[in-house]
Amino acid sequence: MNRFLAVFSVPPCGLLALMALGVLASSLPAQAQPRSAAFEAGLIALRKTNDIPLAIGKLREALDGATSAEDRATIGLVLGLAYQWQGQTDEAISAYRAVVAYNPELTVSFREYKLSHLDAEAGLGDCYWAKGDATAATQWWEKVLRRVPDASAIVVQYVGARKKLVAEGAAVPPFVMIGGLGLSGELRDSEGSLLVSASDLAESLSLKLDWEDGEQQGTLSNEQHRLVFTLDKHEGELDNEPVTMTPPPTAGDDGPLVPLRFVAETFGHRVKWDANTRIAWVG
């Protein structure tokens, strides 16, 4: 279940950076938090007195005095949010990019200050959306959707941005959402259908993948079904019965690609293609 932080008087451009993003606090790795006096003063100004300029000044002071890369990244996350709230979008982007350069998956929380699961990549998506760059916004949000399950707040913004781009005639690549998480790995549009990484799809659908490199043949299976496929051939076997796969599996950059709809539906999942956003939803 997606969890949200109760946030009051938060400007819309900074809202997603505060979302819980479906990750429980107990699941986060323990992190040393930079508890300098300047950093504490910045947090107080940001969340208790709502003095954003003071918060930015104190956070920059804390950043200058930080002695480790992790402390600088943690402070940078909060500073990026403060810049967003102040409407200094370019400065926020610079702060978030510095965090991403250190660790793109860094997420921090300061619950006593009602700040939960700050995420630089989500913040970058927000910032570019605020600047009117829907293409860059969707690219950053996709990074979050591929690693954070049930990030419903981002999904809403992401879908709206893609719908805008498609309506404008932009070349929008397809995207796949499976059970609240974006599919990683290679994705290819072929014959009006989607081919996806067999290994990433197997992981997302809890399937076992066996691959015979010499025969260019693979097997996807669970307790109910066993699907055998061969690269560049329509013919396959499902539970020892012949089946036709369209488009045929093919070689990808990092392993075999298989037809998304055929495989997903074979193993009991529904696939819905939204042409207005070019997103395939698998449930």
Q: What percent of the chain has pLDDT over 70?
A: 88
The end-to-end CA distance of the chain, in Å, is 15
Tell me, yes or no, whether 7 lies in a domain.
no
Mean pLDDT (whole number) for 228-236: 97
Tell me, yes or no, whether 5 lies in a domain.
no
Q: What is the mean pLDDT of the chain?
A: 88
Asked if residue 231 and residue 126 are part of one domain, the reply reads: no
- Report the largest interatomic distance among the alpha carbons of the chain, rounded to a whole angstrom: 70
pTM of the predicted structure, to 2 decimals: 0.85
pLDDT, tens digit, for every residue of 141-193? 999 999 998 888 899 999 999 999 999 999 999 999 999 999 999 999 987 89
Burial class (CB in 10 A: 0-12, 13-18, 19+), 129: buried
Between residues 281 and 19, the one the model is more confident about? 281
Tell me, yes or no, whether 214 lies in a domain.
yes
Mean pLDDT (whole number) for 100-124: 91
Asked if residue 249 and residue 145 are part of one domain, the reply reads: no
Query: Which of 120, 150, 167 finishes a domain?
Result: 167
Its domain, for residue 252, covers 175-282
pLDDT at 33: 62
Mean pLDDT (whole number) for 43-68: 95
Residues with Cβ within 8 Å of residue 118, at least 6 apart in sequence: 17, 18, 77, 78, 81, 107, 108, 109
Asked whether the beta carbons of 95 and 11 are under 8 A apart, the reply is: no
Query: Would the pLDDT of 123 be above 90?
Result: yes
Mean pLDDT (whole number) for 48-64: 96
pLDDT at 34: 66
Query: Would the pLDDT of 16 be above 90?
Result: no
pLDDT tier at 27 (50, 70, 90 boundaries)?
very low
Mean pLDDT (whole number) for 217-235: 97
Mean pLDDT (whole number) for 70-87: 96
Asked if residue 60 and residue 31 are part of one domain, the reply reads: yes
Query: Would the pLDDT of 14 be above 80?
Result: no
User: Which CATH number goes with the domain that contains 130?
Assistant: 1.25.40.10
Asked if residue 162 and residue 62 are part of one domain, the reply reads: yes
Q: How many domains does the chain have?
A: 2
Asked if residue 186 and residue 160 are part of one domain, the reply reads: no
Tell me, yes or no, whether 265 lies in a domain.
yes
Tell me, yes or no, whether 3 lies in a domain.
no
Asked whether the beta carbons of 247 and 253 are under 8 A apart, the reply is: no
Between residues 162 and 33, the one the model is more confident about? 162
Tell me, yes or no, whether 4 lies in a domain.
no
Query: Would the pLDDT of 93 be above 60?
Result: yes
Asked whether the beta carbons of 117 and 20 are under 8 A apart, the reply is: yes
Mean pLDDT (whole number) for 20-28: 32
